[in-house]
Amino acid sequence: MLNLRRFLASDRAYWTLLLAPALIVLTVMFVYPLIYSFYLSLTVYDIILPPKFVGLRNYGRILTDPQVWNSVRISLIFTVGALALETGIGFGVALILHDLGFGRNFFRTISVMPIMLTSVVIGVVWRMMTNYDFGVLNYFTSLLGIAPVAWTANVHTAMPLLIVSDVWHTTGFVVLVLSAGLAQLPTELFEAAEIDGASAWQRLLHMTIPLLQPVFTVVFVFRSYELLRMFDKAITLTSGGPARATETITFQIYQRMFSGFQVGYSAAVAYVLLLLTLLIVLPFIRKI
């Protein structure tokens, strides 16, 4: 009883009471859909007939489903390619802006402007830009004497196009985060290293990058999570094609759910995506 009175009289009780309503609502909104979707993944359910419990049959079916594993492969290719380019380009731009005196804030603002656009808008705009008949990209390549290319209908160009569109869209986020990290680095260490004769490359490789490791980890966590569940650009830019070349795992879930009405199976595939995300993201989170 005495401990309860002390708790109620403490600041912790005050903040707990303030946060409790929001935490309860968030818990209910998160936990209930999670439990219900897992229950659906253990059933056969086509919306018309009531769910029929089948245990782990859906997960066993996933193991022998080539379409699901193809979508997993496509998602991993997209994630690795986009994350590598966004990190490399974003880090380079952040370094340039960090050393830039005049106009730094202006160019930093320009670099983050694409983030303000939604992914659906990005997909539609890039689809128009790469249109075979009137796309601006084919217009510029024609000036160089290159024949028009069906960018979204070619197996060899659809995935690179999807990756480039995402790099253009979200590299500004990487620039913003890494710029904030560079601004917090102790200048005294770099000045001392320069006096000791360390070159710019040595300072970059042995000081800047190691000191920015926690910031890089934050970038990897946020971007890998978003890239693995990318759907909107795939459906608006390439529609998952051609020949399933850009059919990500989220697109596969959408197709199973809304085209095949395989609610239970699509829920099971969604949990495969959850497991894949945890396997990739958790090692980075442990380093933060």
Spell out the residues 6+ positions from residue 126 whose beta carbon is closer than 8 angstroms to its own.
161, 165, 233, 237
Q: Which of 193, 229, 228 is nearest to 208 (CA)?
A: 193
> Which pLDDT score is estimated for 3?
61
Q: Is residue 6 part of a domain?
A: no
Q: Is residue 5 part of a domain?
A: no
Query: How many domains does one find in the chain?
Result: 1
> Which pLDDT score is estimated for 2?
47
Q: How far from chain centre, in Å, is Cα 202? A: 31
DSSP calls for the chain:
-HHHHHHHHSHHHHHHHHHHHHHHHHHHHHHHHHHHHHHHHTEE--SSSPPEE-TTHHHHHHHT-HHHHHHHHHHHHHHHHHHHHHHHHHHHHHHHHHH--TTHHHHHHHHHGGGGS-HHHHHHHHHHHT-TTT-HHHHHHHHTTPPP--GGG-HHHHHHHHHHHHHHHHHHHHHHHHHHHHHTS-HHHHHHHHHTT--HHHHIIIIIHHHTHHHHHHHHHHHHHHHHT--HHIIIIITT-STTTT--HHHHHHIIIIIS--HHHHHHHHHHHHHHHHHHHHHHHTT-
CATH number of the domain residue 230 falls in: 1.10.3720.10
Q: Is residue 246 part of a domain?
A: yes
Q: Is residue 81 part of a domain?
A: yes
Scan for tokens 């495969």, then name that residue: 272
- Provide the domain limits for residue 102: 66-285
> Which pLDDT score is estimated for 268?
95
Q: Which of 50, 75, 29, 48 is nearest to 269 (CA)?
A: 75
CA pair distance 58, 72, nearest whole angstrom: 16
Spell out the residues 6+ positions from residue 48 whose beta carbon is closer than 8 angstroms to its own.
261
Q: Which of 106, 256, 105, 114 is nearest to 172 (CA)?
A: 114
> Which pLDDT score is estimated for 13?
67
Q: Is residue 172 part of a domain?
A: yes
Q: Is residue 90 part of a domain?
A: yes
Pseudo-torsion of CA 194, 200, 202, 207, nearest 10°? 70
13 neighbors 7 (Cβ within 8 angstroms): yes
From first to last of its 288 residues, the chain has per-residue pLDDT tens of 546 566 555 667 666 777 788 888 888 888 888 899 999 999 999 888 888 999 999 999 999 999 999 999 999 999 999 999 999 999 999 999 888 877 778 888 888 889 988 999 999 999 999 998 889 999 998 888 888 889 999 899 999 999 999 999 999 999 999 999 998 988 888 888 888 888 889 988 889 999 999 999 999 999 998 999 999 999 999 988 888 899 999 999 999 998 888 999 999 999 999 999 999 888 877 766
Scan for tokens 């005495």, then name that residue: 2
162 neighbors 240 (Cβ within 8 angstroms): no
Q: Is residue 37 part of a domain?
A: no
pTM of the model: 0.89
Is the peptide bond prior to 242 cis by the omega test (within 30 degrees of 0)?
yes
Q: Is residue 74 part of a domain?
A: yes
